[in-house]
Each structure stands twice: as C-alpha cells, then as structure tokens.
C-alpha cells in the first residue's frame, strides 16, 4: 500500500511539472506574439523621385501636379491591434475607443487586424514611440501608387472585391492586415481595410499651391488628412488620390494608420 508521504511527493511533482508546462507554453505564446509584432512592423523602402499627385477635375484632388519626394520607408502593413496594445502597455496610454467590441474587430482577440478608434494624436504618439513618424500626404500617395502612373487604384484603374477590403468585398469589418495582394511596392491594404491618418493638415486648395519638393501640407488647420478608404467605403473613396479629413481628436471605427521613416 502506498504511503501518504509517497502520494504527497507524487502530487507535488505532478503540480511542478504542470506549472513548468504552463510556464513554457506561456513563454512560447509570448515569443510567437513578439515575432508576429516584429513582422507587422516591417518597413518597405519607397524609391524617391518625381510622380504626378492628384487628379484633374476632381475637387480637392485637383489639379494633378508634379511632386518630388525623397526616398523613405513605409510600413508594409497598417498598424495592428497587437502592436498598438504593446504601445499602451509600455506608455500607459488609454486603450482605443471600441476596444473589445467584436463588431469592430477591435481588441486582443483580433491581434492581426488594424487598430481603429484612435485619434490622429494617438497615431502620432504611437509613431514617435515606435521610432517612426506618420507619412506626409504626398509620401502616402506616392507609396499607394506603387510605381504605376496615372491609375486610380494601387493595382490599376478598377477595383474589384478581390483586390481590397471595401464595401464591394462585403466583409462587414476589417480583415487581418495583408489579406489582400500588395501593390507594386509590396505594400498591403493601401486601398481599403482602414482609412489611414497622415501627418498633414487638410486644405482643400493645397494642391493648387503645393511646393514641388517634399510637401508637408499647410502649417495650420482644423482637420488632419485621412487616405485610402476603408472597409466601410465604396470604391471611389479608395482611389489613390482621394482626400478626406477629420479633426485630430476624432476617433472612428474605420480609421487607423501606418507609419513611415526617413531613409538615411
Ligand atoms: Ca488602408
């Protein structure tokens, strides 16, 4: 018959082994998450040069005009919930509006989806924390065009449901970043999924007076530019030159961002 002491020792060993397993699997899942976050933070080098920004006879997108931007790096993907959560944990910044709301695919259950419910100020603070910055509007458009000339969308003149997450795709929310094919520069979701905050203030007439080299928008303004359309937008809002704007403290369930970085 087994002694009580033996049974006690056996029970302690079982508990120790179980605790070790939990610790190991916790550490493995932490490592996986860290790897995912590193992948999500990948940058792509966008070759600088001259390109035609805007579109003639399209309201505030007009006129089409030549702009030169220096080479720069652009995030391959929109910033994700997992990335943004790291920022909040490290800095103590408040979690996004709508965090944990499944209908907006926001929160830790959706680590690979783009973060939404963040203001321009939040996006800018994240970019600084990450050692990056928000792209200038001209940089964003240069990157979105993916090397194509005179096209409406990152991959050509038309946009169908297989090319971007917008209303025609009928997905009723964001999808994990990178779910659609990239453009010519290897950037994903430059059309659709979420609108993206850029650095510039909005001025509807800015294209008429924009400087040629590295324009950075007006010095002051009440609104900040958002680009690219989102899951809740029709194809026309997803055009590479299409401009929209919101107050910098506004939060929206279809607006996120990605970061850029200087090329030195
Ligand atoms: Ca987007």
4 and 130 both lie in a single domain: no
Residue 88 φ then ψ, to 5°: -65, -40
Strand partners, 225: 245
Q: What is the pLDDT of residues 180-192, one digit of tens each?
A: 999 999 999 999 9
Tell me the two tokens of residue 136. Answer: 């200038």
Q: How far is the CA of 119 from the centre of ligand 1 (A)?
A: 15
Distance 191 CA to ligand 1 centre (A): 5
Query: pLDDT confidence of 32, banded at 50, 70, 90?
Result: confident
Between the CA of 263 and the centroid of ligand 1 the distance, in Å, is 22
For 252, list phi and psi in degrees, rounded to 5: -145, 150
Give yes or no: residues 24 and 67 share one domain.
no
- Tell me what pLDDT residue 157 has: 97
Q: pLDDT band for 209, please (50, 70, 90 cuts).
A: very high
- 47 and 17, same domain (yes or no): no
Give the tens place of pLDDT for each residue, 1-29. Answer: 456 676 667 666 766 666 656 566 666 67
Let me know whether 25 and 51 are in one domain. no
**pLDDT tens by residue, 222-259:** 999 999 999 999 999 999 999 999 999 999 999 999 99
Q: What beta strand segments (E) does the chain contain?
A: 43-46, 49-53, 65-69, 72-75, 195-201, 224-227, 243-246, 255-257, 260-262
Q: Are 49 and 68 in contact (CB under 8 A)?
A: yes
For the chain, the domain total comes to 2
**Does residue 190 share a domain with residue 80?**
yes
Show the tokens assigned to 96.
Answer: 């996004």
Percentage above 90 pLDDT, the chain? 84
Q: Structure tokens of 76? A: 């391959």
Distance CA 85, CA 39 (A): 15
Q: Are 77 and 178 in contact (CB under 8 A)?
A: yes
Q: Which among 26, 135, 30 is positioned nearest to 79, based on CA atoms? A: 135
173 and 58 together in one domain: yes
Q: How close is the Cα of 24 to the center of ligand 1, in Å?
A: 37
Note whether 26 and 86 are same-domain residues. no
- CA 144 to ligand 1 center in whole angstroms: 9
Alpha carbon of 177 to ligand 1 centroid (Å): 9
27 and 68 fall within a common domain = no
116-164 tens-digit pLDDT: 999 999 999 999 999 999 999 999 999 999 999 999 999 999 999 999 9
**Distance from residue 260's CA to the centre of ligand 1 (Å):** 14
Q: Do 163 and 33 share a structural domain?
A: no
Residues 86 and 181 in one domain: yes
Q: How far is the centre of ligand 1, averaged over its atoms, from the C-alpha of 69 (Å)?
A: 21
- Ligand 1 centre from 20 Cα, in Å? 42
* Residue given tokens 């659609």 in the structure block: 180
Residue 98 to residue 152: CA distance in whole angstroms: 32
Residue 131 DSSP SS3: coil
- Whole-number Å distance, alpha carbon 231 to ligand 1 midpoint, is 9
pTM of the model: 0.89
Domain containing 24: what range? Answer: 1-40
Q: For ligand 1, an ion, list residues with CB under 5 A.
A: 189, 193, 228
User: Are 81 and 198 members of one domain?
Assistant: yes
- The enclosing domain of 140 has a CATH number of 3.90.1580.10
Give the CA distances from residue 197 to residues 19, 61, 178, 252, 257, in Å, rounded to whole numbers and listed in that order: 45, 17, 18, 11, 5
| β-bridge mates for residue 158, sequence order | none
Instruction: Give pLDDT, residue 12.
Output: 66
**31 vs 259, more confident:** 259
Stronger pLDDT, 33 or 211, i.e. the higher one:
211
State in Å: Cα 256 to ligand 1 middle.
Answer: 8
Same domain, 32 and 55: no
How far does residue 162's CA lie from ligand 1's centre (Å)? 15
Ligand 1 center to residue 22 CA distance, Å? Answer: 38
Go through the chain and tell me how many residues it has: 264
User: For 92-126, what is each residue's pLDDT tens digit?
Assistant: 999 999 999 999 999 999 999 999 999 999 999 99
Q: Tell which phi-psi region holds residue 92, choosing left (phi > 0), alpha (psi between -120 and 50) or beta.
A: left
Ligand 1: distance of its center to the CA of 79 in Å?
Answer: 10
């Amino acid at each position: 018959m087994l002694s009580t002491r033996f049974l006690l020792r056996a029970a302690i060993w079982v508990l120790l082994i179980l605790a070790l397993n939990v610790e190991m699997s916790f550490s493995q899942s932490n490592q996986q998450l860290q790897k995912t976050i590193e992948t999500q933070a990948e940058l792509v080098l966008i070759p600088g040069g001259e390109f035609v920004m805007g579109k003639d006879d399209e309201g505030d997108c007009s006129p089409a005009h030549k702009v030169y931007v220096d080479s720069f790096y652009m995030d391959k993907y929109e910033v994700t919930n997992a990335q943004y959560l790291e920022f909040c944990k490290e800095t103590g910044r408040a979690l996004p509006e709508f965090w944990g709301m499944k209908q907006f695919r926001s929160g830790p259950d959706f680590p690979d989806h783009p973060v939404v419910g963040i203001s321009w100020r939040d996006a800018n603070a994240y970019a600084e924390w990450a050692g990056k910055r928000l792209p200038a509007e001209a940089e964003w458009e240069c990157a979105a065009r993916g090397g194509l000339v005179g096209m409406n969308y990152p991959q050509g003149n038309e946009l169908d449901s297989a090319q971007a997450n917008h209303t025609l795709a009928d997905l009723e929310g964001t999808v994990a970043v990178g779910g659609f094919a990239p453009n010519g520069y290897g950037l994903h979701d430059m059309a659709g999924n979420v609108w993206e905050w850029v650095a510039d203030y909005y001025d509807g007439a800015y294209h008429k007076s924009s400087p040629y080299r590295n324009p950075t928008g007006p010095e002051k303004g009440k609104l900040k530019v958002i680009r690219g359309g989102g899951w809740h937008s029709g194809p026309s809002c997803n055009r590479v030159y299409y401009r929209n704007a919101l107050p910098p403290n506004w939060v929206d369930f279809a607006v996120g961002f990605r970061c850029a970085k200087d090329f030195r």
